[in-house]
Amino acid sequence: MRKTKNGKREGQVRVERKPKIEYLGQYKVSRSDELLEFLLRKCNTSRNNVKAFLTRRQVLVNGSLVTQYDFPLAKDDEVKICKVAAPKQTPTVKHTATSVKRELPKILYEDEDFIAIDKPVGLLSVESDKERDCAYARVLEYLSVKDKKARPYILHRIDKETSGVLVFAKNIKLHSMLKMRWNELVSLREYCALVEGRMEKKEDTIVSYLKEDGNHLVYATKDPSGQKAITHYEVIGESGEYSLLKVRIDTGRKNQIRVHLRSVGHSVVGDEKYGFTKDPLGRLGLHASALTFKHPVSGETVSVRAPFPAEFRKVVGQKK
């Protein structure tokens, strides 16, 4: 994919940038709660003033505007109070004529407890300080159309540059139970990766410790003071310049797959963060293809799959 005069790739996803917002307070939720009661404990002000924050459109939960007093909060939610009313383009819980409608990514699975989407490349899982649009906001809008009190609960995240399976809980109790036993209940976290070069070993396990430097870049080390990371891979296709891998991870560390594959000399294609040299896709060559876990109450297996992208297979000469 060639670049335009300003250095951007043609066809690259255009990112909607947030206007700069100043906050009166920013809080991380440590346990299940209701929004009004949570703010009353965090803010050194009266109940009427806290209610005013909500009615004046000043409260964001995971980047989405909330005005509902009894909005349910879950562990690890982020609550922010804006100094002034949030911008009109802010994703909102209530579906009104002034809401900004955003396309819902393809739904891969949905029942009364969970919803899973095929997150497109270029979309954040949850909002950041630089970008407001995210998968959480789109799923939230979709659920709130049916029930204004409904909301998704964040179980896990995948990188903005990575596409594929992203699962949210619909029930706060299930969310808490899964988060507490995530590594025990999740039996499969599978990805496909397109990497540079031909792998010397067609199947292997990479084990190392991961640390983060001052520039927030993760690197692999033998130092056990880092976070232990385990990545399994299998070559399922290759050409002269590239290898297509099926990857399974036992640990979900930040940028784990990208860092591990680079550490063995085969960077994921298009990985601007970790030193790619080839970019046949015009995007990062990483896709979350499957997530399987046990329902914490019923014990039933929930398995969600997003097919390998056809463009990944095409690079190594596979039709499907």
User: Which position among 159, 204, 213, 279 bears the catalytic label?
Assistant: 159
Cα–Cα distance list, 176 to 33, 284, 298 (Å): 12, 32, 15
Structure tokens at 261: 């594959």
Measured over the CA atoms of residue 170, residue 174, residue 178 and residue 184, the dihedral's sign is negative
Q: Residue 28 in contact with residue 42, Cβ under 8 Å?
A: no
| Known catalytic residue at 33 | no
Active site residues: 159
